[in-house]
Amino acid sequence: MDPELISVVQRFLVSEVTDIRPLPGGHIHDSYIVTAASGGLVRRYVLQRLNQTVFADVDALMENVQRVIGHIRQRLHESGGPDRRCRGLSLVPLSAACNVFLCRHDDECWRMFEFIEGTRTLHEVRSAADAERLGRAFGEFHDLMADLPPPPLHETIPRFHDTPWRLTRFEQSVAADVCGRAGDVRAEIDFIRAHAGLAPLLVQANVPQRVVHNDAKIGNVLFDESTGDVLCVVDLDTVMPGTILFDFGDMVRSGVCTAAEDETDLARVEVDLSLFEALTRGYLGAAGSLLTATERDHLVTAGKVIVFEQAVRYLTDFLEGDRYYKTSRPGHNLDRCRNQTKLVESLTQHEREPTRIVQHL
């Protein structure tokens, strides 16, 4: 075990550490699974070193996360929800201060969650049942957040789903071409330019600001391992004001196709209408009564815009030298971009059926 990591863990209120190993999956923070044993009782935790290039204001981030966790717990407690769900996410306090995160140097901040045993995550949906659970999970989340008391949450990453701004950033990265990669990705650049008309469709929509997740993908849903039921949504770092269209669009990214977002066999990246139907049914079943007519009218568009936005973000990062997203192979961000552009294409081809599905649910 890395002695540096052990010394970090020892600052939190945990007993004897027996194992620390990397937890793969996230694109942003460094995450580890920590095992600790005390008096024969083995407990696990998720330790995270926060990415402060992405989240510049860690105090604001952690204040948001604590408020959201506290509110969910209170709401579920009031509604007599099963205790297990109320314990969805728990931050581990530090041993020597009443705080839940540790900043050792200006550039090194850590936090630790209790690992929820008996749960699993999925990287992609496998069936209509998964898609429906994904929709329901974030529908319930929107419902839970609907009465979060003021003040508004901090904006942990400004302009996060401002697609026109993402497009401007993209054009800057093409113009600067700091890695000399633009020449190799002309087709992808052309695709994005040809679809630039998608960018303003959500930010111009006349829909209310709500508290939304902003990273509503299947990988951020925790399932009960034995029943398959949704336990809670995780990764609360970008929970902040936004529109439900951002989240529905993100759900479409991972919910309408059984291929992962970095699948390179693009023949597998196709909208499956039965998955779209199940996802939307799950979502509207949980949050349908919250939605205005305009929000409902924009659900199908939201899918196209947010998948497009993600393609733009991946290509921008590829052009800038893969500095934002973690990658595990050369060209990983380009593969992700190609995957998302294929999904935009497929969503564009199948526009009418999803619209009809939303109207009939």
List of long-range contacts for 6-11, beta carbons under 8 Å, 24+ apart: 8/47, 8/102, 8/104, 8/110, 9/34, 9/36, 9/45, 9/47, 9/112, 10/95, 11/94, 11/95, 11/96, 11/102, 11/110
Q: Does 302 sit near ligand GN1 (CB under 6 A)?
A: no
Name which of 235 and 322 has its Cβ closer to Mg ion: 235
Q: Which does 310 bind (CB under 5 to 8 A by kind): ligand GN1, Mg ion, none?
A: ligand GN1
Q: Does 295 sit near ligand GN1 (CB under 6 A)?
A: no
Q: Does 28 sit near ligand GN1 (CB under 6 A)?
A: yes
Helices first, then strands: H and E counts in the chain: 13, 10
Name the region of 159 (left: φ>0; alpha: ψ -120 to 50; beta: rest): left
Nearest-approach distance from CB 354 to ligand GN1, in angstroms: 21
Element (H, E) at 242: strand 240-242
Provide the angle, in degrees to the nearest 10, between the axes of the packed helices 332-349 and 244-255.
100
Q: Could you tell me which of 344, 275, 273, 348 has the C-alpha nearest to residue 314?
A: 344
Nearest-approach distance from CB 116 to Mg ion, in angstroms: 17
Q: What number of chain residues touch ligand GN1 (CB under 6 A)?
A: 10
Element (H, E) at 278: helix 273-287
Considering only the stretches 8-16, 23-31, 98-106, 241-249, report the one whose residues sit in contact with ligand GN1 under the rule CB under 6 A. 23-31
Structure-block tokens of residue 125: 């949906």
Name which of 300 and 307 has its Cβ closer to Mg ion: 307
In this chain, which of 235, 261, 309, 322 binds Mg ion, going by CB under 5 A?
A: 235
Structure-block tokens of residue 153: 């949450």
In this chain, which of 37, 54, 128, 203 binds ligand GN1, going by CB under 6 A?
A: 54
Name which of 280 and 327 has its Cβ closer to ligand GN1: 327
CA 282 to chain centre: 18
Name which of 310 and 341 has its Cβ closer to ligand GN1: 310
Q: What angle do CA 141, 142, 146 make, to 5 degrees?
A: 120
Q: Could you tell me which of 334, 311, 336, 333 has the C-alpha nearest to residue 324?
A: 333
Phi, psi of 47 (to 5 degrees): -100, 135
Name which of 215 and 262 has its Cβ closer to Mg ion: 215
Name which of 133 and 217 has its Cβ closer to Mg ion: 217
Binding to ligand GN1 (CB under 6 A): which residues in 182-241?
A: 215, 217, 235, 238
Nearest-approach distance from CB 26 to Mg ion, in angstroms: 7
- Residue nearest to Mg ion according to CB distances in the complex: 215
Considering only the stretches 180-188, 214-222, 283-291, 324-332, report the one whose residues sit in contact with Mg ion under the rule CB under 5 A. 214-222
Q: Does 26 sit near ligand GN1 (CB under 6 A)?
A: yes
Nearest-approach distance from CB 279 to ligand GN1, in angstroms: 17
Q: Does 27 sit near ligand GN1 (CB under 6 A)?
A: yes
Element (H, E) at 345: helix 332-349
Q: Does 247 sit near Mg ion (CB under 5 A)?
A: no
Q: Which does 261 bind (CB under 5 to 8 A by kind): ligand GN1, Mg ion, none?
A: ligand GN1
Give 31's strand partners: 48
Q: Could you tell me which of 202, 74, 86 has the C-alpha nearest to residue 145?
A: 74
Give the footprint of Mg ion on this chain (CB under 5 A): 215, 235
The footprint of ligand GN1 (CB under 6 A) covers 26-28, 54, 215, 217, 235, 238, 261, 310
